[in-house]
Amino acid sequence: MKKKLYILYRSLWSALDLIFPPVCGGCETTGFRWCRECQQRVQVLSGTVCDVCGLPQDASGVCDACRVDRPRFHALRAWAVFEDPVRKALHRLKYRRDVALGDAIAAHMLQYVTELCWDIDMIVPIPLGRKRMKQRGYNQVGMIARPLALALDIEFAPKALARRKETRSQVGLSKQERRENVHEAFQAGARVKGRTVLVLDDVSTTGSTLSSGAEALFSSGAKDVYALTVARALPRHGLKHV
């Protein structure tokens, strides 16, 4: 049933594109939400990665950092490297109210997510704080999570996870500061009990936000928690701008 709704969902966005010609999220070419050239420029994060945190490494298995201090999620993966055109598209979705990009990004992530072969039955987006939600009017992560859930024929649960405290932006914080900033920042509802949850965010750097979200989901009885982001900031990017 959800797959039929996904077809309808995509059709509605396509109809809106005819009425209001879109602009490519990566290069601002008129007539496309995500043009062919930008599709080809996406740096899909592939190759050998840590089994847990998903960072690239030379050998398979669990990285040294995760052996010492394992995050709470079962595994974290990201579709692409946090560089243009994905970076521009995410900023446009987040700060310029181009909500149609949520559907376009989800459509191009779908094959990657399917090939992960994760046995999940619920998608939960990382929630915004009240202040940011009031300012923005929508959760950009939810705009990606909803069509993914429809395409995968699983439950979309935007209210299953909530912020219990307002947090600072993670931009510019060190790894330890990021962890402290989101410590016990979330609470989960009873509907996650016994469920295998995919918690989704737009960008991951250290994984601290997703780990904190996973902690809350497990505290409310989730059976297992996987984590996914659209993009991953790699160590070469540093922590100041992501």
| Mean predicted lDDT score pLDDT of the chain | 92
Asked if residue 106 belongs to a domain, the reply is: yes
Cβ 230 vs Cβ 45: under 8 Å: no
* Residue % of the chain over a pLDDT of 70: 95
**pLDDT over threshold 90, residue 8:** yes
- Say if residue 85 is preceded by a cis peptide, omega within 30 of 0: yes
End-to-end CA distance of the chain: 38
Asked if residue 46 belongs to a domain, the reply is: yes
Cβ 156 vs Cβ 146: under 8 Å: yes
User: Rounded to whole angstroms, how far apart are CA atoms 1 and 10?
Assistant: 15
The count of structural domains within the chain is 1
Asked if residue 242 belongs to a domain, the reply is: no
Band (pLDDT 50/70/90 cuts) for residue 194 is: very high
pTM listed for this prediction: 0.92
User: Rounded to whole angstroms, how far apart are CA atoms 217 and 187?
Assistant: 7
Residue 106 is part of a domain; what is its CATH number? 3.40.50.2020
Asked if residue 83 belongs to a domain, the reply is: yes
Cα 232 to its chain centre, rounded Å, is: 10
Band (pLDDT 50/70/90 cuts) for residue 32 is: very high
Q: Which two tokens stand for residue 213?
A: 């979200």
Q: Mind listing the pLDDT tens digit for each residue in 93-136?
A: 999 999 999 999 999 999 999 999 999 999 999 999 888 899 99
Strands 196-204 and 224-232 come out as: parallel
Residue numbers of the domain that contains 114: 2-237
* Residue % of the chain over a pLDDT of 90: 83
